[in-house]
Amino acid sequence: MSIFGDKLEKCVREKGSRVVLALDLSPQVGEKDFRRKLLVRSRRILGEVEEHIVGVKMNFQLLLPLGLFDYLRFLVEDASSYGLPVIMDCKLNDVEHTNEWASRYFFEAGFDALIANPFVGWKGGLDVVFNVARDYGRGVILLVYMSHPGAVEGYGQKIVNDRGETCFQYEVFAEKAKSWGAEGVVVGATQPKIIERVSGIIGRKIPIFSPGIGIQGGVISEAFQAGTTYAIVGRSIYQSQDPEHAAREIKEKINEVIERGE
Ligand code: BMP
């Protein structure tokens, strides 16, 4: 297991939570000093909710305005000081040489894991990403089925696998997550049946991260009963009047479902 997996499990033990915060605050572009204000708001929310979460996911919404080696590093440092693993949600999806540098930059900047898109394939695509991650002791999380309705067009399409059997694209991606050594998969919380199927393929060793709870329509009990390991939650927390209260409630709701299921 990588540093990412270790940090995550330690957080679960210490914080008793299964919530990963999607810190997707929007900058008020054009407003005076908008980058600094975005950083200040993001740091404040992270500080308010840190005791109820086990990881932070950041994506282009923060990366582009804040800059990887610029303001963003303060957030990565904050997360680390709270003991939280930090995931770069770049959905990496290119050829070898650019994937390699993107991965190196993210790991050099302190990210513990990154999210990649298995559509790009192994040879000359994601092979290098897994190799770089291994060298740095970090993790790669694969998209297996996304939470939005259009996911059916790609992740949900019917295909013929290497064994000549008709199956769904996401079933092949779940198998690849196992054989490639992924440290997690993303399956939308909006798709409990698919979570169940993927869980059946990958087993309990690879965690399932499920975004889409709340505003996108995913339901905590359905996702966790189907096999979700961690909920990725953004707007329901950071858009709340009281993010600390919202994060605590989501954490407790998940824990109730897990306790009832055991
Ligand atoms: P929210 O809880 O506000 O709906 O945010 C969900 C987060 O998960 C966002 O950061 C989004 O980029 C991410 N996400 C998603 O919603 N669906 C996916 O299938 C994969 C994602 O990474």
Write a three-state SS string for 156-217: CCEEECCCCCEEEHHHHHHHHHHHHCCCEEEECCCCHHHHHHHHHHHCCCCCEEEECECCCC
Catalytic residues: 91
pLDDT tens column, 16-49: 999 999 999 987 778 889 999 999 999 999 999 9
Cα(119)–Cα(134) distance, integer angstroms: 21
How many angstroms separate the CA atoms of 159 and 156, rounded?
9
Read off the DSSP letter of residue 218. B
Ligand 1 near 24 CB (within 6 A): yes
d(CA 258, CA 262): 6
* Index of the ligand 1 atom closest to the CA of residue 235: 3
Question: What does the pLDDT read at residue 30?
Answer: 80
Closest atom of ligand 1 to CA, residue 188: 19
Tell me the best of 19, 20, 24, 187 to mutate to test the pocket of ligand 1, counting ligand atoms within 8 Å of each CB and taking the most: 24
186 lines ligand 1 (CB under 6 A): yes
Q: ∠ CA(68), CA(71), CA(84), 5° rounding?
A: 75
Report the separation in Å between the CA atom of 17 and the middle of ligand 1, taken as the mean of its atom positions: 19
Banded pLDDT at 1 (limits 50, 70, 90): confident
> Per-residue pLDDT averaged across 97-106, rounded?
98
Q: Please, which residues have CB within 8 angstroms of residue 82's CB and are 6 or more apart in sequence?
A: 46, 50
Label residue 262 by pLDDT band (50, 70, 90).
low
Give the integer Cα–Cα distance in Å for 253 and 200: 24
CA dihedral 84, 85, 89, 93 (to 10 degrees): 180
Longest dimension (CA), the chain: 59
pLDDT digits (tens, 9 = 90+) for 184-240: 999 999 999 999 999 999 999 999 999 999 999 999 999 999 999 999 999 999 999
Dihedral class, residue 33 (left if φ above 0, else alpha if ψ from -120 to 50, else beta): left
| Centre of ligand 1 from the C-alpha of residue 147, in Å | 7
Residues 6+ apart with CB under 8 A from 254: 17, 18, 19, 220, 224, 231
* pLDDT tens by residue, 7-17: 999 999 999 99
So what's the pLDDT on residue 221?
97
Residue from 147, 239, 250 to probe ligand 1 pocket by mutation (most atoms less than 8 Å from CB): 147
- Rounded distance between C-alpha atoms, residue 51 and residue 245, angstroms: 11
Looking at the predicted structure, is the pLDDT value of residue 245 above 70? Answer: yes
- Tell me the CA–centroid distance for residue 250 and ligand 1, in Å: 16
Lookup: tokens for 38: 């975005």
Cβ burial, residue 58 (10 Å; 0-12/13-18/19+): buried
Q: Whose CA is nearest to atom 18 of ligand 1?
A: 146
pLDDT band for position 149 (50/70/90)? very high
Is the C-beta atom of 27 inside 6 A of ligand 1? no
